[in-house]
Structure 1
Amino acid sequence: MLPTYSQRIFNLLSGLWVGGLLTIGFLVVPTLFSSLGDRQVAGMVAANLFKSTAYISVLTSIVLMVLANYFVRVGKPQYRIDRWILLGMLACAIAAAFIIIPWMNSLRDQALYLGLSVRESTHAVLFSRLHGISSAIYMLQTLLGIVFVWRATKNAD
């Protein structure tokens, strides 16, 4: 009975997490940029959303890895692959939360200190590259998440 209950928590947490990634990245942030007249304000709000999402992703992937390890220990070897997917998602979240986002925020803060938007600053090219890397990491994490949820619901059988 305990593994079934644990699997339900695993599936629920997986679905909520990946659903959140999809909602923030592909619905909320594009809506911000299309609705707000000021791209700088939209970018700052989006940066806060992505930062929160990255921290939540770090925590959630660790919790799910612990559960996946438990499932493997109780004789469900199909969760071994899920652990690798979760590790990839954790790596994406760590890169975003502790490297890319702080770096981009620093560049934005430097520009704001000078009274400029980051697009007008001398760091515009670097910021643009970091934005591209950040977007690629987020897309990779989301794709891994879709595969992960697909497998998690299959593993519930």
Structure 2
Amino acid sequence: MKQRFNVMVAALWWGSLTGLGFVVVPMLFANLGTPAAAGAMAARLFTAQAWLSTGCAMLLLLVLNKKDDAALALQAQAAMKFVVAGLLLALLVEFGIAPRIVSARADGGNLKLWHGLGTALYVVQWLCAGLALWRLAPTSQAAQPPAAD
């Protein structure tokens, strides 16, 4: 049960990053009237995503820190570095990069630099969440429940 919970939380984290970054935000820019309107909405969505990422990562860290099952402890150890890295990246993008994007847009600063850096860090966070999910997923048929007839 604990293993399934870990996988579900990691899947929520990775799936939400995937949906927002690769589907929703591109559709905003394709369908809203102006890039400014799409950018403003995307900024709100990325803030919500940062909090969701933080919650999922913190929950995983709390659950993975328990060492009551040796097999799960090995999976947890393998995933932990990716969870921590993803958490730090989410916080860095939200509190370090996003404010610079907003100020660059308002002050005429280097928007391209900050947006590119934010995008790169988002992709690395996506990779960390995906690798955490990969590490937490069951690896053998023995770990899988029997198929229902």
Q: Please indicate, yes or no, whether the TM-score normalized by the shorter chain is above 0.5.
A: yes
State the 1:106 CA deviation. 3.2
SS at match of 1:151: helix
User: Which runs of no fewer than 5 residues in structure 2 stay unpaired?
Assistant: 144-149
Measured against aligned partners, the alpha-carbon deviations of 1:50-72 in whole angstroms (never above 9, x if no partner) come to: 111012111210110111111x3
Q: Number of aligned pairs?
A: 139
Query: Who is 2:53 aligned against?
Result: 57
Determine the C-alpha separation between the residues in 2 that align with 1:78 and 1:20.
22
State the 1:155 CA deviation. 5.6
Determine the C-alpha separation between the residues in 2 that align with 1:17 and 1:78.
17
SS at match of 1:78: helix
RMSD of the alignment, in Å?
1.7
Query: Who is 2:69 aligned against?
Result: 74
Whether the 8 Å contact between 1:79 and 1:155 is mirrored in structure 2 is: no
What is the letter of the counterpart of residue 32 of structure 1? L
Query: Who is 1:92 aligned against?
Result: 89
User: Which runs of no fewer than 5 residues in structure 1 stay unpaired?
Assistant: 112-120
TM-score (norm 1): 0.81
Of all paired residues, the percent bearing the same amino acid is 30
Structure 1 runs (4+) greater than 4 angstroms displaced: none
Query: Who is 2:12 aligned against?
Result: 16
Which residue of 116, 122, 125 corresponds with 1:132? 116
State the 1:73 CA deviation. 4.4
